[in-house]
Amino acid sequence: MQFRNIAVLTGAGISAESGVPVFRSEDGLWENHRVEDVATYMGFEANKTLVHDFYNNMRESLKTKEPNPAHRALADLEQYVTANGGNFTLITQNIDDLHERGGSKNIIHMHGELNSLLCERCGKRIEFHERSTTQSVCPHCNSKAMRPDIVWFGEMPYQMDTIESVLLNCDLFISIGTSGVVYPAAGFVSICHRMRKPTIEFNLEPSAVRSQFDKAFYGKAGTTLPAFVGYLKEHDALPDTLNWSHHCMVRQGPPWACPKFVPCPSHGHGPNHGMPCHAMQRLAISYSQAVRSQASEQSPITRPWIQPCRLITCWWAHQQ
């Protein structure tokens, strides 16, 4: 395995396709509030009830959201890397729990978690799934000093020591769905880039720190990431930027088009009518088997890269 130690940084963009709003919207507001009011300690001191309710509502709404194929692709990559004796660390700026529910294991929530409260008196963090108020009591010290366990602007992110050692020891750094304007997370790529580790960005558009990335894939992470992970597992190498985007992802390809595209003998050229590489062929077979056996929830059919696509259908038609 070429990349034994993989570090991943995710931001709001990876949860966008699950319906979680990103931060830097055009109006500069976060869920209709000024960031200073709901994401700084001063804002909390000025109106604790408003800030509690802001995160209460988010926590409530998170229960209706589901992980998307990008979350699941990262869980799949982690499983693959660790099964082969490597290390995989997912550093997320997100406060949602979609990585956990998507199957990821080794997660650092550097900006805190929605499903957690922090006691201002004793500093303990408690898992929490209900609505908090100024009257919520700390189970450890009994004081009414609970606040949302979110790292606000001006506060120190969690686990910076661990993050530093993960970055120093990784041999591949991948950033997904983050605009690259909030530090220290925005600076992680520079640390890796200076040490000549390969760095890759997945985003809708070039981030503010694009120049530090060796490769970039632009498009929806729910589409690009499963395809990328499939390629990495199959070839033990990073896909080439140009072919990759040309054949399958950004401009024209269907979601699961294969970068090793071969024109279809019956339908001619075009990314929608090619024969997939061996990995895709195997997946197509599992897919059709799953369909035949009236697959249950846990079956491969629910896994992101085995969804039907025109390319697979076309290849499959030749096999019947």
Catalytic machinery residues: 111
CB of 142 to Zn ion, least distance (A): 7
Q: Of residues 107-146, which lie at the interface with ligand APR (CB under 6 A)?
A: 111
> What does the alpha-carbon distance between residue 101 and residue 115 come to, in Å, rounded to a whole number?
13
- Give DSSP secondary structure letters for 268-280: BSSGGGEE--HHH
Query: Measured from the CB atom, is 132 or 203 closer to ligand APR?
Result: 203
Residue 205 burial (10 A CB sphere; 0-12, 13-18, 19+): exposed
Counting contacts by CB under 6 A, is residue 220 touching ligand APR? yes
Using CB under 6 A as the binding rule, the residues of this chain from 272 to 291 that contact ligand APR are none
Question: Cβ contacts of residue 112 below 8 Å, gap of 6+?
Answer: 95, 118, 148, 149, 150, 151, 158
> Does residue 34 touch ligand APR according to CB under 6 A?
no
Residue 141 binding result from Zn ion, ligand APR, none, given CB thresholds of 5 to 8 Å by partner type = Zn ion
3-class DSSP state of 72: helix
- Rounded CA gap, 239 and 202, in Å? 13
Cα 225 to chain center, whole Å? 9
Scanning 23-31, 120-128, 236-244, 253-261 for contacts with Zn ion by CB under 5 A, the matching segment is 120-128
Which amino acid is located at 170 in the chain?
A: C
- The binder of ligand APR chosen from 6, 8, 9, 13 (CB under 6 A): 13
200 binds ligand APR per the rule CB under 6 A = no
Instruction: For residue 209, give the nearest of 182, 228, 238 by alpha carbon.
Output: 182
129 near Zn ion (CB under 5 A) = no
If binding is defined by CB under 6 A, does position 204 make contact with ligand APR? yes
Interface with ligand APR, residue 22, by CB under 6 A:
yes
Q: Is 278 exposed, middle or buried (0-12, 13-18, 19+ CB in 10 A)?
A: exposed
Q: Does 188 bind ligand APR (CB under 6 A)?
A: no
Residue 269 partner contact from ligand APR, Zn ion, none using kind-dependent CB cut-offs of 5 to 8 Å: none
Which residues, numbered 158-187, are part of the site for ligand APR (CB under 6 A)? Answer: 177-179, 182
Find the shortest distance in angstroms from Cβ 72 to ligand APR. 14
Token pair of 290 as six digits: 């799953």
Judged by the rule CB under 6 A, the positions of this chain that interact with ligand APR are 11-13, 16-17, 22-24, 93, 111, 177-179, 182, 202-205, 207, 220-221
